[in-house]
Amino acid sequence: MKRLYATDKTALELIRSGAMPRDYASVAFAPADMLDAASTARDIKQLVERSDAIARLTTPYMVLVPEHAHRRNSKLITCRALSASITEPYLVSIDEDCLCVTPELLFILYSQKHSLATSVQLGLELCGTYTLPAFSDNECFTTYDLPVLTTAKSIREFIARNPGIYGAKRAKRFARILRDGSASPMETVLFLLLCLPVSEGGYGLPLPEFNADLPVIQYLGSMHVPQIRYGDLVYRSARVVLEYQSSEHHTGSERQESDEDRRDDIEATGYTVMFITPSRIKDFDRFEAVVQRLARYLGVDFSRCEPGRNTSRLALRKLLLPESWTE
């Protein structure tokens, strides 16, 4: 009986749709061989009839096969073979007909074909507490407050243990930028805009923590609500917090009051809080003014960030931000 070994786009769809258990480590395994790997359109059609998880996926299906000689690419299926053997678990069972590469291996394979910005964007999602929609580009269908799927440390350690996989060297360089705990796509975007190298369109600022617990917990004592995480992007050594406000219109709203309470709580412990709204991000000059202020707090010479509308910076904004924000 043939089985589908999902990789690349197909693996990402399984992760984002929730088909992969987020405690995957307990069920992951590495088969001695993949001689039962589906590698033809006929194989796939039979599997689609049996597996609801596979039937939901978009074509072409991206699958692993044992060797390059087994590849039979068509409009329905694209096959790829790993360039090196992996002795540790790297597959997760979805159902009896389908397996999926682990997030750690997916990051390596994804990095082979994608840019630094796009690869780190995916890595931050894999290490975060949200997931983008599997079959839509509409961010409204993002799922939040999920258990952690993997960590930056796990990805880096997997790469270190498997240097023979094609693309591992590139993935290792990309993985240095990964951090745990991003709670939303826009937190990830802000991180990338601020911290990617200047040559990649970012401002090259130091890497912050995501959603870090701050001394406000001790300050508030019994008044602290354990579910609240303080600080979207936190520069602990500089005592600066960057908070993203998702709505442009807060007047009289419960969200505005919540944001103000959070700011007061944080500033009471000696941190500086900087709020950033969609309107500030949309406006290039206003956003760069925020970056300049942040750089000053961090003790970074802003001229080294090469401010201004250069080609790489505009390209990065076009890649990461909604089209309506970059017109």
For 275-286, what is each residue's pLDDT tens digit? Answer: 999 999 999 999
Alpha-carbon distance of 55 to 94, in angstroms, equals: 13
Residue 132 structure tokens: 């983008």
Quickly state the pLDDT bin for 10 (edges 50, 70, 90).
very high
Is the CB of residue 182 less than 8 Å from the CB of residue 279? no
The DSSP H or E segment spanning 188 is: helix 185-195
Yes or no: say if 172 and 108 are a contact pair by the CB < 8 Å rule.
no
Q: Rounded CA gap, 11 and 154, in Å? A: 18
Say if CB 200 and CB 316 are below 8 A apart: yes
- pLDDT, one tens digit per residue, over 42-96 is 999 999 999 999 999 999 999 999 887 766 788 899 999 888 888 899 999 999 9
Q: Which element (helix H / strand E) includes 125?
A: helix 116-126
pLDDT digits (tens, 9 = 90+) for 134-170: 987 776 789 999 999 999 999 999 999 999 999 999 9
* pLDDT at position 247: 61
| Strand residue runs (E) in 150-277 | 209-210, 233-235, 240-244, 272-276
